[in-house]
Chain A
Amino acid sequence: MIPELGQVALCLALAVALVQAIVPLWNPASAALARTAAQGQGLLIAFAFGCLTYAFVTNDFSVQYVAMHSNSALPLHYRVSGVWGGHEGSFLLWCLMLSVWMVAVSVFSSHLPEDMAARVLGVMGVLSAGFLAFMLFTSNPFDRLFPAPPDGRDLNPLLQDPGMVLHPPMLYMGYVGLSVAFSFAVAALLSGRLDAAWARWSRPWTTVAWVFLTVGIALGSGWAYYELGWGGWWFWDPVENASFMPWLVATALIHSLAVTEKRGGFRSWTVLLAIVAFGLSLLGTFLVRSGVLTSVHAFAVDPKRGIFILMLLALFIGGALALYAWRTARIGLGGAFEPVSRESLLLGNNVLLVAAAGTVFLGTLYPLLIDAVGAGKISVGPPYFETVFVPLMAPALFLMGVGPLARWKRASLPELAVRLRWALGVSLALGFLSPLLFGNWSAMVGFGLALAIWIVSTALLTLKKSLRQTRAHYGMVVAHIGVAAFVVGVTLVKGYESEQDAKMKPGEAVELAGYAFRLEEIASVKGPNYAGAQAKFVVSRNGKPVTVMYPERRHYTVQDQVMTEAAIDPGLTRDLYVSLGDPLEGGAWLVKVQHKPFIDWIWGGCLIMALGGLLAASDRRYRFAIRERRAAEAAA
Chain B
Amino acid sequence: MAAARVLLLWLACVAALAAESPGLEKRTAALAHELRCLVCQNQTLADSNAPLAVDLRNQIREQLAAGKSEQDVLDFMVARYGEFVLYRPPLRAATLALWIGPFVFLALGVWLLARRLARRRAAEPELSGAERERAAKLLE
Residues of chain A whose beta carbon lies under 8 Å from any beta carbon of chain B: 228, 230, 232, 235, 237-238, 294-296, 298, 333, 336-337, 339, 344, 347-348, 351-352, 354-355, 358-359, 362-363, 366, 370, 375-384, 387-389, 391-392, 499, 501, 581-582
B 59-96 contacts with A by CB, 8 A? 82-89, 94-95
B98 and A355 contacting across the interface, CB-CB below 8 Å: no
Cα(A581)–Cα(B54), bound, Å: 12
Apart from A355-B106, A382-B44, A388-B99, 12 more pairs, CB < 8 Å: A295-B42, A296-B43, A355-B109, A362-B98, A362-B102, A375-B94, A376-B94, A377-B83, A379-B84, A383-B87, A387-B88, A501-B25
B98 and A363 contacting across the interface, CB-CB below 8 Å: yes
B110 at interface, CB cutoff 8 A: yes
Enumerate the 10 nearest inter-chain pairs by beta-carbon distance, A residue then B residue, closest first. A381-B87, A383-B88, A351-B109, A359-B102, A355-B105, A377-B84, A388-B102, A358-B105, A355-B106, A296-B41
B 27-42 contacts with A by CB, 8 A? 29, 33-34, 36, 40-42
Smallest CB separation, B53 vs chain A (Å): 12
A359 and B101 contacting across the interface, CB-CB below 8 Å: yes
Smallest CB separation, A554 vs chain B (Å): 14
A351 and B106 contacting across the interface, CB-CB below 8 Å: yes
Q: Which of B11-19, B117-125, B132-140 contacts A (4 or more CB under 8 A)?
A: B117-125
A344 and B117 contacting across the interface, CB-CB below 8 Å: yes
A382 and B105 contacting across the interface, CB-CB below 8 Å: no
Cα(A230)–Cα(B33), bound, Å: 12
B49 and A581 contacting across the interface, CB-CB below 8 Å: yes
A392 and B106 contacting across the interface, CB-CB below 8 Å: yes
B49 and A351 contacting across the interface, CB-CB below 8 Å: no
B87 and A379 contacting across the interface, CB-CB below 8 Å: yes
B20 at interface, CB cutoff 8 A: no
Cα(A366)–Cα(B84), bound, Å: 12
Given A375-B94, A581-B49, A582-B49: A298 and B101 within 8 A (CB)? no
B117 and A382 contacting across the interface, CB-CB below 8 Å: no
B9 at interface, CB cutoff 8 A: no
Cα(A261)–Cα(B105), bound, Å: 27
In the complex, chain A residues whose CB is within 8 Å of the CB of B41: 294-296, 298
Cα(A493)–Cα(B26), bound, Å: 16
Sample of 20 A–B contacts (CB below 8 Å): A230-B47, A337-B120, A351-B109, A351-B112, A352-B106, A352-B109, A354-B105, A358-B101, A359-B102, A362-B105, A370-B95, A379-B84, A379-B86, A382-B33, A384-B87, A384-B88, A392-B102, A499-B29, A501-B25, A581-B49
A232 and B47 contacting across the interface, CB-CB below 8 Å: yes
B113 at interface, CB cutoff 8 A: yes
B98 and A384 contacting across the interface, CB-CB below 8 Å: yes
Cα(A512)–Cα(B104), bound, Å: 43
Closest B residue to A362 by CB, please name it. B101
In the complex, chain A residues whose CB is within 8 Å of the CB of B49: 581-582
Cα(A225)–Cα(B9), bound, Å: 44
Given A378-B89, A379-B84, A392-B106: A296 and B42 within 8 A (CB)? yes
B87 and A380 contacting across the interface, CB-CB below 8 Å: yes
**Size of interface on B: residues with Cβ below 8 Å to A:** 39
Residues of chain B whose beta carbon lies under 8 Å from any beta carbon of chain A: 25, 29, 33-34, 36, 40-44, 46-47, 49, 82-89, 94-95, 97-99, 101-102, 105-106, 109-110, 112-113, 116-117, 120, 123-124
Cα(A582)–Cα(B53), bound, Å: 14
In the complex, chain A residues whose CB is within 8 Å of the CB of B95: 366, 370, 378
In the complex, chain B residues whose CB is within 8 Å of the CB of A392: 102, 106
A366 and B98 contacting across the interface, CB-CB below 8 Å: yes
**Contact partner, A379, options B36, B99, B105, B117, Cβ 8 Å:** B36
Closest A residue to B107 by CB, please name it. A355
Given A348-B113, A501-B25: A238 and B34 within 8 A (CB)? no
Smallest CB separation, B122 vs chain A (Å): 11
Closest B residue to A265 by CB, please name it. B120
Smallest CB separation, A413 vs chain B (Å): 14
A333 and B42 contacting across the interface, CB-CB below 8 Å: no
Closest B residue to A386 by CB, please name it. B88
B85 and A379 contacting across the interface, CB-CB below 8 Å: yes
In the complex, chain A residues whose CB is within 8 Å of the CB of B94: 370, 375-376, 378
Smallest CB separation, B60 vs chain A (Å): 14
B110 and A380 contacting across the interface, CB-CB below 8 Å: no
Given A333-B120, A351-B110, A358-B105: A380 and B83 within 8 A (CB)? no
In the complex, chain B residues whose CB is within 8 Å of the CB of A362: 97-98, 101-102, 105
Cα(A438)–Cα(B27), bound, Å: 23
B120 and A380 contacting across the interface, CB-CB below 8 Å: no
Max count, chain A CB within 10 A of own CB: residue among B46, B87, B116: B87
Smallest CB separation, A40 vs chain B (Å): 40
In the complex, chain B residues whose CB is within 8 Å of the CB of A294: 41-42
Cα(A210)–Cα(B10), bound, Å: 62
Cα(A358)–Cα(B25), bound, Å: 36
In the complex, chain A residues whose CB is within 8 Å of the CB of B29: 499
Cα(A582)–Cα(B46), bound, Å: 15
B89 and A238 contacting across the interface, CB-CB below 8 Å: no
In the complex, chain B residues whose CB is within 8 Å of the CB of A391: 102
Cα(A441)–Cα(B20), bound, Å: 25
B89 and A384 contacting across the interface, CB-CB below 8 Å: yes
A339 and B98 contacting across the interface, CB-CB below 8 Å: no
Smallest CB separation, A538 vs chain B (Å): 24
Smallest CB separation, A558 vs chain B (Å): 20
Cα(A347)–Cα(B117), bound, Å: 10
In the complex, chain A residues whose CB is within 8 Å of the CB of B44: 381-382
**Contact partner, B84, options A337, A378, A581, Cβ 8 Å:** A378
Cα(A499)–Cα(B106), bound, Å: 36
Given A333-B123, A359-B101, A362-B98: A376 and B42 within 8 A (CB)? no
In the complex, chain A residues whose CB is within 8 Å of the CB of B84: 376-379
Cα(A336)–Cα(B87), bound, Å: 46
Cα(A347)–Cα(B123), bound, Å: 19
Closest A residue to B111 by CB, please name it. A351
A235 and B34 contacting across the interface, CB-CB below 8 Å: no
In the complex, chain B residues whose CB is within 8 Å of the CB of A370: 94-95
Cα(A349)–Cα(B106), bound, Å: 11
In the complex, chain B residues whose CB is within 8 Å of the CB of A376: 82-84, 94
In the complex, chain A residues whose CB is within 8 Å of the CB of B98: 362-363, 366, 380, 384
In the complex, chain B residues whose CB is within 8 Å of the CB of A228: 47
Closest B residue to A337 by CB, please name it. B120
Max count, chain A CB within 10 A of own CB: residue among B42, B46, B87, B112: B42
Closest A residue to B48 by CB, please name it. A230
Given A370-B94, A379-B84, A582-B49: A237 and B34 within 8 A (CB)? no
In the complex, chain A residues whose CB is within 8 Å of the CB of B42: 235, 237-238, 294-296, 381
Closest A residue to B95 by CB, please name it. A378
Closest A residue to B101 by CB, please name it. A362
Given A344-B117, A379-B36, A382-B33: A355 and B25 within 8 A (CB)? no
